[in-house]
Structure 1
Amino acid sequence: MENENAQVSRAEYEALRAERDQLLALLRALPDISFVIDTDGLYVRVIGGANETMYIDGKTLEGHTLHEALPAEIADRCLNLVHEAIRTGDLQTVEYPLRVSEVALLPDASRKGSKGEVEQWFEGRVIPLSPFDHPKPVALWVAVNITPRKQLEQYWREAAHTDSLTGVANRLRLFDRAHREVERAHRHGRPFCVLMIDFDHFKRINDHYGHATGDDALRAVTRACGEMLRDNDFMGRTGGEEFAVILPETDLEGARHTANRLLETVRTIQLPNAAPDLHLTISIGCARLQAGEGLDRLMRRADEHLYAAKAAGRDRCCGDCN
């Protein structure tokens, strides 16, 4: 009976080995790269990665550990997943960004230069691999390059929050950012200002020069204004020919300075191909966040100041900063 059990166990073992060998043969033919990693984080074997446009040859990793190859935080996370897969016997998955330059054991020719600094995204699929000719338990880590998918997701996220005509933030994104900045300003007692902007005589531009020229004017103005704003300033289109600029960490003197620069910038814009004789101007309403004030009230006050600027003759700024 013992002999029969031993024979059954041996047969099962050989069947598992055959299954493993078939799996490894299949992995070698796949475009994605795979790693056999033991409980110490040792790269026992590197397999596949036939798609050279998506992967760098990782054979230099064999015989080294995760912590020798990767930044400590990433290595810790990977090793924890290997342990969890081996402990539970279940598939573990994770998405993670990685640059070639971050993998210390890859050849310098691959790590250096602009290509090495490009962030790529991978989906790691980790399963226990048994039996295997190694003294310690191992797991198979299949790294699927999902960079194109991530880039597409990023594109659609940006498209959902970007004004398609001008490329600046749309109303949804602008107000989301403004709400967060208002909360932060109140929490830390910091100054915060808003500029409401409206094109002067925009209907006249559309009627006289055509809507295509009107669109060109909107794009030219938002582009020029965006280039002169600070990195932490934020511009968005609120509708039609109206825009808003939020100015974190900005007092009234700073808001006045920004508004005047915007006015001057727009006055210099020309559309030589569409309307060489067209002179563009904008009107601006400025409001500073007051104690206990919410975003809605702040924007209403800025809008009221904008209409005051229109009534006073346009091409000017009115509001708290005057």
Structure 2
Amino acid sequence: MDDIQDSTQAATIAALQTERDQLLTLLKALPDISFVLDEDGLYVKVLGGANEAMYANGKSLEGHTLSNALPPAVAETCLTHVRKALHTGEMQTVEYQLRVADVSLLPSVIRDCDQYQTEQWFEGRALPLPSYNHPKPVVLWVAINVTPRKQLERYWREAAYSDPLTGIANRRAVFEQAEHEIDRAHRHHRPLSLLVLDIDHFKTINTQYGHAQGDEALRQFTQGCVDLLRDTDFMGRIGGEEFVVLLPETDQVGAQHLGARVVEAIPTLDVPGMNHGHRMTVSIGAATLLEHEGFEELLRRADDALSSAKRSGRNRLRLGER
């Protein structure tokens, strides 16, 4: 009876070893790089990575630990997921950023390559690897380079929230940011102001110089405004030649001061292709947030002030009624 049990156990172990060997052979040919890591973060074996455009050769990592090879934060994250996979017996997945040039145990000839100087995104998948011939429990860590996917996600995210002509926030982003800032201002009882800006006689610019030159004027106008803003201010384009600037932590006096600076600065812009005698000007309406007021009410008061500035002759700032 014992002989039968021993034979069965031996057959099971042999089958597992065969399955493991087949798996490792397969991994060697895969484009994604894989690592056998033990519970202490030791690189037991490096496999795969056949796609040389996406992965560096990591053979030099074998025999070293995650903490020796990787930046501390990345090493800690990876080791945490290795141990969690071993504890639960289930695959663990994590995304992390890493510059290949920062993997200190790679040869300098690899780390100095231009393609490895930029931050890349990886998706790590840690799966327990039973019956592996190693004194301590190990996982198979598959590192998938997901940088192209992340770049695409970033592109579409920016496209959804930015104005393609000027590069600043679009209407959607402005409204979302405004709701966030107004909620914060009310919650902490802090001041917030809004400027609504409209380039004077912009249609004349388009008619006289053409739409391409009009686009350049919009870009120059945007940059001229941005140069005057603080890092905490938020500028967006909500219409053809209409812009808004959210001013957190800014009362009416501060909004009036910034608005006046913008009115003074815009005519000094030298837009390439435009007649030197033709200077852009801007009309601005300003409003400061009232207690319990929402963005639509604040925007309406600033817009009314803008209309007043236009009726008064343009190229000026008007304050909204409280």
Q: Structure 1-normalised TM-score?
A: 0.88
Quote the offset at 1:108 in angstroms. 5.7
Q: Which amino acid aligns with 2:22?
A: Q
Aligned partner of 1:64 in structure 2 is 64
Aligned partner of 2:278 in structure 1 is 278
The 5 Å alignment of 1:200-239 reads: 200-239=200-239
Aligned partner of 2:169 in structure 1 is 169
Quote the offset at 1:197 in angstroms. 0.3
Aligned partner of 2:154 in structure 1 is 154
SS at 1:17's partner residue?
A: helix
Q: Which amino acid aligns with 2:279?
A: H
Unaligned 5+ runs, structure 1: none
SS at 1:31's partner residue?
A: coil
Native 8 Å contact 2:170 2:237 kept in 1: yes
Aligned partner of 2:45 in structure 1 is 45
Q: Which amino acid aligns with 1:278?
A: H
C-alpha root-mean-square deviation of aligned residues, in Å?
Answer: 2.6
In 1, Cα distance between the equivalents of 2:193 and 2:182? 9
Aligned partner of 1:187 in structure 2 is 187
Native 8 Å contact 2:70 2:103 kept in 1: yes
* 1:162-187 deviation line (CA, Å, top 9, x unaligned): 11222211111011112111222222
Quote the offset at 1:207 in angstroms. 3.4
Q: Which amino acid aligns with 2:304?
A: E
Most deviating of 77-86 and 309-318 = 77-86
The 5 Å alignment of 1:282-297 reads: 282-297=282-297
Native 8 Å contact 1:213 1:275 kept in 2: no
CA 1:251 to 1:60, structure 2 compared with 1: closer, same or farther past 3 Å?
farther
Q: Which amino acid aligns with 1:191?
A: P
Quote the offset at 1:320 in angstroms. 5.5
- The percentage of counterpart residues that share the same residue type is 55
* 1:100-124 deviation line (CA, Å, top 9, x unaligned): 3554544566667986663211111
In 2, Cα distance between the equivalents of 1:116 and 1:288? 49
Q: Which amino acid aligns with 1:292?
A: H
Aligned partner of 2:18 in structure 1 is 18
Native 8 Å contact 2:68 2:105 kept in 1: yes
SS at 2:238's partner residue?
A: strand
CA 1:191 to 1:115, structure 2 compared with 1: closer, same or farther past 3 Å?
farther
CA 1:192 to 1:111, structure 2 compared with 1: closer, same or farther past 3 Å?
farther
Aligned partner of 1:240 in structure 2 is 240
* 1:114-140 deviation line (CA, Å, top 9, x unaligned): 866632111111212122110111110
Q: Which amino acid aligns with 1:95?
A: E
Quote the offset at 1:275 in angstroms. 5.0
Matched, 1:260 2:253: no
Native 8 Å contact 1:37 1:140 kept in 2: yes
CA 1:206 to 1:293, structure 2 compared with 1: closer, same or farther past 3 Å?
same
Native 8 Å contact 2:127 2:141 kept in 1: yes
Aligned partner of 1:144 in structure 2 is 144
Quote the offset at 1:71 in angstroms. 4.7
CA 1:103 to 1:250, structure 2 compared with 1: closer, same or farther past 3 Å?
farther
Unaligned 5+ runs, structure 2: none
Native 8 Å contact 1:93 1:126 kept in 2: yes
Native 8 Å contact 2:301 2:320 kept in 1: no
Quote the offset at 1:154 in angstroms. 0.4
Native 8 Å contact 1:270 1:278 kept in 2: no
Native 8 Å contact 1:285 1:318 kept in 2: yes
CA 1:276 to 1:22, structure 2 compared with 1: closer, same or farther past 3 Å?
farther
In 2, Cα distance between the equivalents of 1:277 and 1:5? 99
Native 8 Å contact 1:121 1:150 kept in 2: yes
Native 8 Å contact 1:32 1:51 kept in 2: yes
Matched, 1:199 2:199: yes
Q: Which amino acid aligns with 2:156?
A: W
CA 1:31 to 1:262, structure 2 compared with 1: closer, same or farther past 3 Å?
same
Quote the offset at 1:256 in angstroms. 2.5
Most deviating of 250-259 and 65-74 = 65-74
Aligned length, in residue pairs: 321
In 2, Cα distance between the equivalents of 1:134 and 1:45? 11
Aligned partner of 2:3 in structure 1 is 3
Aligned partner of 1:91 in structure 2 is 91
Native 8 Å contact 1:68 1:105 kept in 2: yes
SS at 1:228's partner residue?
A: coil
